[in-house]
Chain A
Amino acid sequence: MTLVLKGVMQSPVTPLKADFSPDYDTFERLVDFHVRTGATAISWPHHKAESHNLTIAERKALGEVAIKAVAKRVPISIHVSALALEDTFELARHAQASGADAIIAITPYFWKYPSEAIYDYFVKLGTTFDLPLIAYNSPSYLDGVEFTGELTKRLIDKLPNFIGMKEASFNSEKFFEILRAALPLRPNFAMIAGVEYLLPSVSLGGAGSYSSAGAICPNLCIELYESCASGQWERARSAQYKLSQLWMLFRDQYPSSLKGGCVIMGRPVGPTRPPLPTASNERIKFIEKRLAELGILDTEPHGW
């Protein structure tokens, strides 16, 4: 139960074949690539892994591949959020049985419900399973449904296995509200920025990030974290400004453009499932131009 998360954690995309079926071999290679290029933990399938576009059976099968590919080198958490909570609990059961090190879950999708329902949901998840539990806060995608500092405190009091939060509001006030509620009660509680906004979050006391651009530029991600952690703020700013430009490039219809970028880096991961578009050749050319302008092509690994 002593799982302490920090640094640049990677949440791989889901490689697909031309017919949109899961590409297990490439997935294994991608997970291995992340571990070899410095990921301090792996977490799959976040939304960038098209979690919503995979069937529950596919999520289980791919989850097993990921756990096997990581091979205990770093901790791996499984994202269990699904539209129906029945499926969420089924995915969590499967994650535990398959040897995952933790589970991560967002506040339930679509419905509007009181704060108390968020509490009940996470208590049920955290008490049904022994695995360490990471919560995921993303108010802008869930129409304002969100964690508060107070709710976080109550869950920490109740759940010894509640170890961290993926916080994706990208907002100083929200991030710091939760952080300052959590850390006095659980000093190792990991406040993890949703994508690599490490400069504004680590300076506030954050532990690290789940990466968006890690499949493109792992070196830059690690440089940003290392310079924040060692207080080299000027160097951190220059890395953060670049990564922020990349996030702007990838953010829309995420992860279509990210997958397009992987082609440029010699690590093709195939198309994106509808309703998300697959990056066109034109789009890939544009991404290549931006990657060149940002110096990514010269400083990051090409191929596997």
Chain B
Amino acid sequence: MTFKFGLAHAPLTPFENGRIDYAAYAKILDFHTRHGAEALALPMHAGESVSLTAGERQQLLDFAIQHVAGRIPIVAHVSEAGTEIAASLAAHAKKAGASALIATVPYYWTPPQHMLVEHFEAIGKAGALPFFVLNTPGDMAGVEFPPKSIVELIHKLPNFAGLIDTSLDWQYMIEVVTVARAERADFQFVSGTEYMISASAVGATGLVSSLSSVAPELVRELYDLCRAERYAAARPLQEDAASLFRLMRDGGVSALKAAAALVNRPCGDPRPPLVALHDKDGLYRSMSEAKTFNKEPRGWS
């Protein structure tokens, strides 16, 4: 039971009249499969997982697995507030044919460390697939999955395969790689942002990319240079990725969806409470400041 992360794309979830637009989703999945994805992680926060019902999440995953039909692996994101609900999503993902699972700390609650371990243990056991914890304290009221708890979970959960990090915190990143690999030599450290130079230098072997919806070529090239450890050559690309990252972080899913529409891959508006971005021209101007942006594909081909 191994799953090597590599470059995973995190697709958007398209809506029409408030419902998931499966015709558009098929086009999105095909687009990512053709433009550098080695796996798809879905629905991540960029795919508005939090705004989908449990039923929709299962249906979306079933659809993706059937549509992609083994061309590349599908990783299911099963984060929830309640442990049982997350565990049942994980069990479904396993039955549906997902290749791995991702979960972050419970929404809303800010549980103490031992409860985080119990939460993840229950999800990982229910899913019985390679299990990845998503550490994203900036999104989760500062709650991080501390290195000590990582070691504890390694002892409790044989399928705990790695950690995806968006903290960008050098102290945390290096501590995780050091202590986790001392316990489990093949523990994977995966970057959850496109700050790939520093992540790769400290030992990341994969990336979950949200920018891949708007700049898949940049992401692919940056990823390849970093995996080849050609960091000086990667720096101009890292600058472009940093510019786009900032735009998309400030504007969130609304900006990602507006940007996708600007490059002729419309995915509809985000679901409430998120609001559609109105200054699309301003966004386009800012995106164009990234030097590589005009080389990115337009449309679905």
Contacts and interface: CB of A to CB of B under 8 A. Distances in A.
Contact of A180 (B198, B199, B239): B239
Contact of A241 (B170, B174, B195, B238): B174
B174 A173 contact: no
B169 A204 contact: no
Contact of A173 (B171, B178, B195, B201): B195
A176 B202 contact: no
Given A176-B238, A231-B229, A244-B178, A200 B171 contact: no
Contacts of B171: 170, 197, 244, 247-248
Interface of A: 170-173, 175-177, 180, 197, 199-201, 203-205, 231, 233, 236-237, 240-241, 244-245, 247-248
Contacts of A240: 174, 202
A241 B199 contact: no
B208 to A, nearest CB: 16
Contacts of B195: 172-173, 176
| Closest CB pairs A-B (n = 4) | A200-B198, A203-B201, A172-B195, A203-B231
B211 interface: no
**Interface SS majority for chain B:** helix
Nearest to B226: A203
Given A171-B168, A244-B175, A199 B238 contact: no
Interface string B117-129: 0000000000000
A204 B170 contact: no
Given A170-B169, A176-B195, A203-B198, A197 B235 contact: no
Contacts of A201: 170, 198
B197 interface: yes
Given A177-B242, A204-B235, A172 B175 contact: no
Nearest to A234: B229
B255 interface: no
Contacts of A173: 168, 195, 242, 245
A171 B169 contact: yes
Nearest to A206: B198
A170 B200 CA distance: 16
A200 B173 contact: yes
B229 A233 contact: yes
Nearest to A171: B168
A172 B198 contact: yes
Contacts of A236: 201
Nearest to B191: A172
Contacts of A177: 242
A245 B178 contact: yes
Nearest to B230: A231
Interface of B: 168-171, 173-175, 177-178, 195, 197-203, 229, 231-232, 235, 238-239, 242, 245
Contact of B238 (A171, A204, A245, A247): A204
Contact of A172 (B168, B177, B231): B168
* Residue in B173, B198, B238, B242 with the greatest tally of chain A CB atoms within 10 Å: B198
Contacts of B239: 176, 180
Contacts of B173: 200
B229 A199 contact: no
A237 B170 contact: no
A201 B169 CA distance: 12
Residue from B169, B170, B175, B177 having most chain A Cβ neighbours under 10 A: B170
B229 A237 contact: no
Nearest to A174: B168
B198 A241 contact: no
Contacts of A171: 168-170
Nearest to A197: B170
A204 B197 contact: yes
B191 to A, nearest CB: 9
A44 to B, nearest CB: 24
A241 B239 CA distance: 26
Nearest to B249: A173
A172 B175 CA distance: 15
A241 B199 CA distance: 14
B201 A233 contact: yes
Given A172-B197, A200-B174, 7 more contacts: A172-B195, A176-B239, A200-B202, A237-B202, A240-B174, A240-B202, A247-B171
Nearest to A243: B174
Contacts of A176: 195, 198, 238-239, 242
A180 B177 contact: no
B174 A180 contact: no
A231 B201 CA distance: 10
A240 B201 CA distance: 10
Contacts of B177: 241
19 contacts: A170-B170, A170-B171, A171-B169, A173-B242, A176-B195, A176-B198, A180-B239, A180-B242, A197-B170, A197-B171, A199-B198, A199-B201, A200-B170, A200-B174, A204-B197, A204-B231, A205-B235, A244-B174, A247-B171
Nearest to B173: A200
A204 B231 CA distance: 7
A272 B135 CA distance: 36
A172 B178 contact: no
A200 B198 CA distance: 4
A197 B177 CA distance: 14
A162 B170 CA distance: 26
Contacts of A244: 171, 174-175, 178
Contacts of B203: 237
Contacts of B175: 244, 248
A231 B200 CA distance: 13
